[in-house]
Amino acid sequence: MTADREAIGRVFRVESGRSVAALIAMFGDIDLAEDAVQDAFAIAVRRWPAEGMPPNPGGWITVTARNRAIDKVRRDARGNELLRDTTMEPTGADTVPDDRLRLIFTCCHPALAPQSQVELTLRLLCGLSTADVARAFLTNEPAMAKRLVRTKHKIKAANIPYRIPDDTELPDRLRAVQAAIYLTYSTGYCEPHRSPDLSGEAIDLGRMLRLLMPDEPEVAGLLALMLLTQARRRSRTDSTGELVLLRDQDRRLWDRALIREGHSLVRWCLRRNEPGHYQLEAAIAAVHAEAPAFEDTDWQQILALYDQLMTVAPTPVVALNRAVAVGEVHGAARGLHEIDQINLPSYYPFHAARAEFLHRQGHFEDAVRAFRTAAWLAPDGAERRYLQRRLHSC
């Protein structure tokens, strides 16, 4: 099989997380694992174009990286001691998923700040370069490199274990893992200028977590939510990059294969009857995906799901989304009344939703003020431009 730099790059994105996880399992050293995998890919860049890509590229990278790591350890003063504690046989395919799961839980340990959890997850498991992670968080590469170093040092200093948590720890730790994955997805979906691949990377992590924890309904719910949201991505902006709201999207552009997969996961969750935050949000996304047109949306069902979600995750943002559903079912006045019970003064969708309901009722001056506030609070980009257009149209 021929191997140009583009093909090797694809292998890196797919296999680097597996190889890094396998080497951390062997040596217990994140920096050593990262450096060894980078060395292995540097060797691949030199050899594969002439020799061809091996039948199992990921296995080749892992074995080569392991050998490079052994060489480095032998040169270290602690080399002999560390090598005695190291499993020298290549990691088998059946153990790699466990290694990756351990690494996810290590990256998302509660001792680390939420942003640090996401940054390290992107770097180690998604194979993003430090420059890519820096772009994702709107900072420069040297600053991100320092942050990643500090995070890895904190893992070492705090003696954070490289293992799957005990059953008693798992619920809290799993929530952190899911939050990191979903934040990664949302960043890539809502702000693709940061990194166009982030949402795809998050879905890959969601698939991995689903593969490794197949009996967890919330893991299935998270993956379903991302898939059903991703299915609408092509229709979210027009050819000029301007925002298109759900009611105006061309549903012929929606990815039906992702919708079918998402629906299948939602049905699996419903059979388990253990509703959770991600499962209910996925169910709401599934109802939207079922409607052939916006006017056909089953808002009664969506409102019922939001009522249930409020009992599971009673946050102001969920309350706002429920209020929008109330307005669609019972009219703008009722929706506005629900919104005005919520305290989200710095959240631009709050003001945008108020503006829309005010406009529907003919309260144009109040709608203008609300649209102006929403546009001022919105991040620079398609959302702000849309709100400015709505402001001028009023």
pLDDT at 96: 45
Written as one string, the DSSP assignment of 61-112 is HHHHHHHHHHHHHHHSTTHHHHHHTS--SPPPTTTHHHHHHHHHHHHT-TTS
Q: Is the pLDDT of residue 81 over 70?
A: no
Q: Which of 9-23, 45-59, 143-157, 194-208 has the lowest mean pLDDT?
A: 194-208
Q: Which residue has the higher pLDDT, 98 or 350?
A: 350
- The mean of the pLDDT values for the chain is 87
Residues 210-253 pLDDT 10s: 987 899 999 999 999 999 999 999 999 998 889 999 999 999 99
Contacts of 312 (CB under 8 A, 6+ apart): 275, 276, 277, 280
Q: Calculate what percentage of the chain has a pLDDT beyond 90.
A: 56
SS3 393: helix
Give exposure, 109-143, as e/b (b: 16+ Cβ within 10 Å).
Answer: beebeeebbbbbbbbbbbbbebebbbbbbeeeeee
Q: Which residue has the higher pLDDT, 366 or 213?
A: 366
End-to-end CA distance of the chain: give it in Å, rounded. 60
Residues 15-67 pLDDT 10s: 888 899 889 888 888 999 999 999 999 999 999 988 888 889 989 999 999 99
Residues 288-323 pLDDT 10s: 999 999 999 999 999 999 999 999 999 999 999 999
Q: Is the pLDDT of residue 132 over 90?
A: no
**pLDDT band with cut points at 50, 70 and 90 for residue 12:** confident
Q: Is the pLDDT of residue 198 over 90?
A: no
Q: What is the mean pLDDT of residues 90-114?
A: 71
Residues 323-363 pLDDT 10s: 999 999 999 999 999 999 999 999 999 999 999 999 999 99
pLDDT at 93: 41
**pLDDT band with cut points at 50, 70 and 90 for residue 90:** very low
